[in-house]
Chains A and B, each alone.
Chain A
Amino acid sequence: MIQAFRKGLADENPLCVRLLGLCPVLAVSARLIDAFAMGLTLLAILAITNTAMSALQTHVPGRFRVFVCTAIAGSCASAADLLMQAYMPGLSDRLGIFVPLLTVNSLILDRALGFAKDSTPGMSFGDALGMGTGYLLALLGIALIREILGSGTITLVPIGGFSGTIEVPGLSQSPIRLVSLSAGTFLVLGYAKAVFDMARPPAKTNREEDKA
């Protein structure tokens, strides 16, 4: 379970290595607090869907797995959306359609239909926690870079006298606007992937594997 947890953080990071779940990154990574909420929501839905799909693997025929997976992820996403609408209206307005869209998130479908298929519920839960945490951390990193460079601010939760926004001297007056636009997401993500790829041992090609 710990091994399943670890691989999602770095070696198989869903965002910076496997480029899964790009839709929310494009939509909500311009503000740190939005990225945190989205990452946490995805982590919770992934954990429930992955564990449930693993527990139900012997009960659901193969050709119906995708429908069942969508039903479980969809109901979790709808419940999360309703809870946000009720108790975090500002956040709900900003995340908008992207919370219900987690139903068809490629990371959730990949883990629930791929990994959970041949694993125990415990391993699937560990995998979901690892992948979800890896996704959350990568999303937070990208959001932090985008918000600092693109807006010159860091948005956190307002508490007491603290307004929730920290202005970065210099950048708040003249930010690099491109980074806060959609194109900026791909630029930052591209560099993040390059860093992850450099840090990992090079993957063997088919020819090298054949020789071995």
Chain B
Amino acid sequence: MNKHALAAGKIAGICLACILLVVLARLLTASAIERRGERETYQILEGLAPGRAFGMFRPVEGKHPVLGFYPSWSGPGKAETCIVQVQGNGYGGGFSLLAHCADDGEILGARLLDNREIPGMGKAAQSPEYMDKFVGTGAAKPVPLDPKKLSQKDLAAVSGVSVTYAGIARALEQASAFVKAGGSKK
């Protein structure tokens, strides 16, 4: 019994040392990783709405796929559009994306922010051009949830990544609905 307890104690000590190593690395790198994330987010925001000014991120309370939004202006005055951060479910993991929406919910652009799907599965969706098929939808024209309604060219682009496509379409529809319901005005 004592022999087993001793071995268990030693293994627990080794595991603790391993955990401490990871925690130390995390502490050393946390601020640099956070700064990198902020820089990348800002670059994506600039790419989504070039030449516009952005406000601070406003988080949305409660359990909602919409995590928050950045109000956006083209000049002085009230916010005209907003960039919504929304999360969705892809293949074997989630993702979050930024959707630039007009007041009426029309999607003006979108970009993946963070992809935690099985590596390689949703790679195609990471290119900015992938989101072009959703631009102009969300208001008068509904978000194409069913890939069968896409043009032949767009259909070829989503072939093989249909789970990712469905997740992105649903997330964009939720972002559009959030803006239409006045969520960004509250």
Q: Which residues of A contact B (CB under 8 A)?
A: 56, 59-61, 64, 67-68, 71-72, 74-76, 78-79, 82-83, 85-87, 89, 96-97
Contact = CB atoms under 8 A, between A and B. Distances in A.
Contacts of B14: 56, 60, 68, 71-72
B22 A89 contact: no
B26 interface: yes
A97 B47 CA distance: 27
A30 to B, nearest CB: 15
Nearest to A52: B14
Interface string B1-38: 00000010011001100110110111011001100100
A85 B7 contact: no
B11 A79 contact: no
15 contacts: A56-B14, A59-B7, A60-B10, A61-B7, A68-B11, A71-B14, A71-B18, A79-B21, A79-B25, A82-B29, A83-B29, A85-B36, A86-B29, A87-B29, A87-B32
B10 A97 contact: no
Given A74-B18, A75-B18, A75-B19, A83 B10 contact: no
B21 to A, nearest CB: 5
B119 interface: yes
A97 B25 CA distance: 18
Contact of B25 (A60, A74, A83): A83
Contacts of A76: 21
Interface residues of B, number: 18
A82 B119 contact: no
B22 A78 contact: yes
Given A64-B11, A82-B22, 9 more contacts: A71-B15, A71-B18, A74-B18, A75-B18, A79-B22, A79-B25, A85-B29, A86-B32, A86-B33
Counting chain A CB atoms within 10 Å of each CB, the highest count among B7, B10, B14, B28 belongs to: B14
Nearest to A59: B10
Contacts of B11: 60, 64, 67-68
A129 to B, nearest CB: 21
A83 B7 CA distance: 32
A96 B19 CA distance: 22
A82 B36 contact: no
A39 B14 CA distance: 26
Contacts of B24: 79
A97 B119 contact: yes
Contacts of A89: 36
Interface string B102-132: 0000000000000000010000000000000
